[in-house]
Structure 1
Amino acid sequence: MMDLDGALARYAAALEGLRPETVDALDAVMAPDIRFRDPFNDIAGLDHARALFRQMFEDCLDVRFALRGRFRDGERAVLLWTMDYRLRRWPDRPLKIEGASELCLDPASGLVTAHVDHWDAASQLYEHVPLLGFVLRRLRRRIATPAP
């Protein structure tokens, strides 16, 4: 049985240190058959996960992950994080995504076998797109419950 607290700490450190030149270091913390899912992607395999992160660094500038917390219960874990970045097409607009990653750890190897990101794409990404953002903000105001 692997030290899963140590495995989670290594995975968290790999994400916080993730840069274009460190993508290959994910091999040490992700299982070869990892399933990775976020609001836009649902992929399987370490090769695809590395390609997804490389594409993120192609599309975004100054990507930084800061962990706000981590929790583990057996083979399942959660990381709370903030991602600061800028899109290449709008480099003067710093953006931020706050989310959580649900992880499954292999008890024998300590490698992450599943990584599922949960974050609100509508308010944290789409609302920054000029025309779409206007429509979404207006819709949000219409359906919001008034404060007492």
Structure 2
Amino acid sequence: MPDARTRRLVDAYTRLTRDSLPALLALYDETAAFKDPFNDVRGRRAIGRIFEQMFDELVDPRFVVQVAASEGDEAFLTWELHFVRACGDVLKIRGATHLRHGPGGVVLHRDYWDAAEELYAQLPLLGVLMRALRRRLATPQPA
């Protein structure tokens, strides 16, 4: 069961828009650390730039949180990021987040998601190569 701090964060993520970004960032400590497959930054302003870039590059991004749990100052979320590509295709990235709360808000935000499976494999040309490589490297399964 998520605590009140985690529920506020989940609510902010599920309602996240460019206009509501300051409200989300207010839940983070000024010196919070954020890491995902492409970024490793410190500070509320740097975290804000990551989300601003998301809104610049993706059409209609929105988070759907499936599971939220917390114990003490630690929290864990599983989520999907839904967005639309320029060609109109709707895509989603599945991931998980580890959070650590501190007195000034979230002090650690670590996202775990597989860029190869969730993003690269969905791109037309690169996706074909990624799927072929995955088939070649996969352990054979008995018939």
Distance 1:32 1:91 in 2: 38
Overall identity of the aligned pairs, in %: 38
1:76-112 per-position Cα deviation (integer Å, ceiling 9, x unaligned):
110111111023xx33111101110010111x34x11
Question: What secondary structure does 1:52 align onto?
Answer: helix
Deviation of 1:146 after TM superposition, in Å, equals 2.6
Q: Name the structure 1 match of 2:90.
A: 94
Question: What secondary structure does 2:54 align onto?
Answer: helix
Which runs of no fewer than 5 residues in structure 1 stay unpaired?
none
1:17-65 per-position Cα deviation (integer Å, ceiling 9, x unaligned):
1111111112331111111111100111001111110110000011111
Distance 2:25 2:140 in 1: 48
Is 1:72 matched with 2:75? no
Question: What secondary structure does 1:147 align onto?
Answer: coil
Q: Contact 1:61–1:91 (CA<8 Å) still a contact in 2?
A: no
Point out 4+ residue stretches in structure 1 off by more than 3 angstroms.
none
Q: 1:27 is matched with which residue: 15, 25, 28?
A: 25
Question: What secondary structure does 1:21 align onto?
Answer: coil
Distance 1:5 1:26 in 2: 17
Distance 2:25 2:88 in 1: 33
Question: What secondary structure does 1:20 align onto?
Answer: coil
Q: Name the structure 2 match of 1:112.
A: 106
Is 1:138 matched with 2:138? no
Distance 2:25 2:52 in 1: 14
Q: Which structure 2 residues correspond to residues 6-45 of structure 1 after superposition, within 5 A?
A: 6-45=4-43
Which runs of no fewer than 5 residues in structure 2 stay unpaired?
none
Distance 1:67 1:27 in 2: 18
Distance 1:104 1:59 in 2: 28
Length, aligned pairs only: 141
**Paired letter, 1:46:** R
**Paired letter, 1:50:** G
Question: What secondary structure does 1:85 align onto?
Answer: strand
Q: What root-mean-square deviation, in Å, do the aligned CA atoms of Structure 1 and Structure 2 show?
A: 1.4
**Paired letter, 1:91:** C
Q: TM-score, normalised by structure 2?
A: 0.92
Distance 1:27 1:65 in 2: 15
Q: Contact 1:104–1:113 (CA<8 Å) still a contact in 2?
A: yes
